[in-house]
Structure 1
Amino acid sequence: MKPTLTLIAIFVAFNLCAQDLIEFRGIGRSGHYPETSLLKQWPENGPELLLKIEGVGKGYSTPIVVNQTIYVTGIKTDTTDMLSAFSLKGELLWDTPYGRSWTRSYTDSRSTPTYSDGKLYVSSGTGQLSCIDAQTGKLIWKVDAVEKYGGEIHRHGDAEAPLVVHNMVAYMVGGEKNTMVAFNKNNGEEIWQSKSLGGAKSYASPSLIQHNNRPIILAQTTDNLIGIDAKNGTTLWNYNLIQYHTSRQGVGGNTNPPLYHNGEIFVTSGYDHPGLMFSLSEDGNTIRLKWQNDTLDNHHGGVVLLNGNIYGANWQHNSRGKWVSLNWETGKVNWESEYENKGSIITADNMLYLYEEKRGNVALVEPSTEELKIKGSFVINDGAGPHWAHPAIYDGKLFIRHGDVLLIYNIRE
């Protein structure tokens, strides 16, 4: 389907100094975006809408932006996941099918592509990993990783954003044979496998940390939080998470990339699973539980760390939740506040951006340990379905995806 393009206003000039948005949730998948000089208060009706692109395909994934090109996944026809490239004026450059979509539940595309050295890496809803040329859309290599390695996908399909580590792309497979497999990012040849600890793939994408100059991949299955040596795939440690999944609902539904800061790791998922803080040993070979918190159990909207405090939304049931702030060091609750509903959160230029999942309210928030300080809001009326795609920020622009529609707002001062 050819996209319908609506140019709302003249697009602001492209800033050559802008840092490319190459992966899910910004820097280190932490929800941080390296932007400055952004609005600290929004106008009454929200920031200026610069561009609306319709026809990006149905999806819950987030766009990335590299070399003045927007890349976004979606389902445009039948049951095929499609990666599309658009110019910053909204013109469709190419469409490339990359795998079978998930058809059993919540069928829209999930995987956010990852960019590295002129190539894009993306996973289909059924666990097919593909490498695609970013300029032409040509498929370079593809592996049915879940099928080939005896993997197991959790009940709502594969939502992973592949992780690029130097010359490799690391990918979770889950199941009883392997936990993760690393492939040569140029030709798809296997580099290493990590041993299985049991449990299917979770919904959380893996992330890379540098702990005392040691590269460690943080990964989650339905059962465990796992530290993997990025150089050779050796499992350094694992911590059983499923012991906290005490009700039938959401068992194994680990959903969010962990946060890492100064040798500590915070992990959270919904369904009344407590938020857990771990301390890594100096050599990174062991972890210990530091504290747990029963208030912040983020469903799947991510959490951020800002000025020594964690911000996110909690889960009361699948369609309800409040917004929460915790102290990173102690786990003490700063505040718990109503705002429309739970949703996703990111941060840039010392401000927070909330995207509520039920009705599409978007809020600009000043970080505070005292209360939820809203500095402007507006509502997304375009698109259809749950508002599950995480927002993104690039070159002074806020990207909001809702189903088949991508909206881009000017948030520069």
Structure 2
Amino acid sequence: MKSGFAILFLLFTIRLFSQEVVEWRGVNRSGLYNETGLLKEWPESGPELFKKIEGVGKGFSQAIVVGQTIFITGIKQDTTDVLSAFNFNGELLWDTPYGRSWTRSYIDSRSTPTYQDGKLYVSSGTGQLNCVDAKTGNKIWHVDVVTEYAGEIHKHGDAEAPLLVRNLVVFVTGGETNTMIAFNKNTGNPVWQTKSLGGTKSYASPTVINHHGQEIVLVQTAENLIGVNSENGEIFWSYNLFQYHTHENGKGAQTNAPLYHNGEIFVTSGYEHPALLFSLSDDGKSIKLKWENNILDTHHGGVVFVEGNIYGSTWENNSRGKWASVNWETGETKWEQDWENKGAIITADDMLYLYEEKRGNVALAEPSTDSLKIISNFKVDAGAGPHWAHPAIYDGKLFVRHGDVLMIYNIKE
């Protein structure tokens, strides 16, 4: 039951942070968290467990934090995706069902909510886009994007984290009618639609970049990498990625958000698809392939960019992989080596955080072009299912989700 104090504290928190965009994988969806003063080494048993919250619902999505409120999605009611708010005592503040979950394969919530101006934006596993009041959990608007706009979802469900661009929330439809639609973030009314280039939605969430003053939304469908004018939905350019999908598995499976740095775009998607780096023209209206790398084929754990190099895991098969580093400028593989298994990676305070997917080992590593330098590690001992949720860092705390359980660790010095 909600206490008056908890509600007042939640309202204060939301107002205090009302202008901040909080979203999947931190700053610009890059896996970077702007945190400092974090531990450079953990105790042998791992960092202090601050709080374990059980009953968050089955899910692969990441938790986000606004002030002292935790928002997370999970399946709690049969085949319904539910968005929940918790305080740091682990008390449930509200639950909001927001759409039909994906039921054909890997039945867990996928979408990480995006927060701004007291509102949360989240998508169900079947492509139902919602705007939810962060104070109360009340739905402000709801659009069944896939049904109403003839979208097409790839075979393992919709995993998109909605992207905010100025007063818009942009969302990928895929399919033969549109590629992407922008909605007014306050009303849910459509603002512009991008023509279709064919292909279903992919698993990768879109990102937005500012390139020489030109704001471009980067979209991946099952077939293409596409640059879209954020002002009107005009397609600036597209590049066929499907041509590289020669392995018997993973056809059409673009799995990771792209990275942008210094006028260049990096994409990777597992399944022995080569990692690709593209150079943007100065006006942002065209791209050119700069290099290919056949080692860093990250499955779905994301990659990070640290001091001129890219770090992530590699794909050997759907249940096995290694870790690698590639130089951004040249595409040279600096190293590839074993550590437990493939998984998700983020970075903060000049360190790497690895969360391998099979047994739940978590590592703190020093970025290096010589080798994978593990400093400390521990093992998650709660929850069930694959360890596929990406970790996150907020206010000196590491958030690790495993199925129905969210664990919060103190990692502040």
User: So what's the TM-score if we normalise by structure 2?
Assistant: 0.95
- 1:5-404, aligned counterparts within 5 Å? 22-404=22-404
Partner Cα distance (2:362, 2:119) in 1: 32
Distance 1:193 1:107 in 2: 30
- 3-state SS of 2:277 partner: strand
Deviation of the 1:77 alpha carbon:
1.5
2: CA distance between counterparts of 1:29 and 1:326? 19
Residue 410 of structure 1 pairs with residue 410 of structure 2: yes
**8 A contact 2:56–2:73 mirrored in 1:** yes
- CA distance in 2 between counterparts of 1:270 and 1:280 reads 23
Structure 1 consecutive aligned stretches of length 4 or more whose deviation exceeds 6 Å: none
Distance between the aligned counterparts of 1:284 and 1:43, measured in 2? 47
**Distance across 2 between alignment mates of 1:164 and 1:89:** 30
Give the residue type in structure 2 aligned to 1:276. Answer: L
User: Counterparts of 2:313 and 2:189 in 1: how far apart (Å)?
Assistant: 40
The CA RMSD over aligned residues, in Å, is 1.3
Distance 2:42 2:161 in 1: 31
- Residue pair 1:114, 1:120 contacting (<8 A) in 2 also: yes
Q: Is the 8 A contact 2:236 2:286 kept in 1?
A: yes
Q: What are the Cα deviations for residues 250-301 of structure 1, in whole angstroms up to 9, with x where unaligned? A: 1000000000000000000010000000000000000000000000000000
- Give the Cα separation in 2 of the matches to 1:306 and 1:256: 17
SS in 2 for 1:265: strand
State the secondary structure of the residue aligned to 2:29. coil
* Per-residue deviation, 1:20: 6.1
Q: CA deviation at 1:67?
A: 2.9
Deviation track 1:3-35 (CA, whole Å, cap 9, x = no partner) reads: xxxxxxxxxxx9x99x96710000000000000
Identify unmatched segments of 5+ residues in structure 1: 3-13
Aligned with 2:70: secondary structure?
strand
Q: TM-score if structure 1 supplies the norm length?
A: 0.95
Does structure 2 conserve the Cα–Cα contact (< 8 Å) formed by 1:21 and 1:65?
no
SS at match of 2:352: strand
Unaligned 5+ runs, structure 2: 2-12
Amino acid at match of 2:281: S
SS in 2 for 1:58: coil
Residues 50-86 of structure 1, C-alpha deviations (whole Å, 9 max, x = no match): 0000000000000111131100000012000000000
Give, as a single letter, the amino acid of the residue that structure 2 aligns with 1:134.
Answer: A
The answer as to whether partners of 2:20 and 2:115 remain within 8 angstroms in 1 is no
Overall identity of the aligned pairs, in %: 69
Secondary structure, in 3 states, of the residue corresponding to 2:132?
strand
Structure 1 letter corresponding to 2:161:
A
Structure 2: how far apart are the matches of 1:21 and 1:338?
36
- 2:27 counterpart SS class: coil
Match in the other structure for 2:10: none
Q: In the aligned structure 2, how far is the partner of 1:399 from the partner of 1:200?
A: 32
Q: Which residue pairs with 2:7 in the alignment?
A: none
Offset of residue 249 of structure 1: 0.7
Residue 248 of structure 1 and its aligned partner are, at CA, apart by 2.3
Find the aligned partners of 1:247 and 1:316 in 2 and give their Cα distance: 11
How many residues align? The count is 399
**Cα shift readout 1:199-231 (whole Å, capped 9, x = no counterpart):** 000000000111011110001000000000011
* Cα distance, 1:192 vs structure 2: 0.2
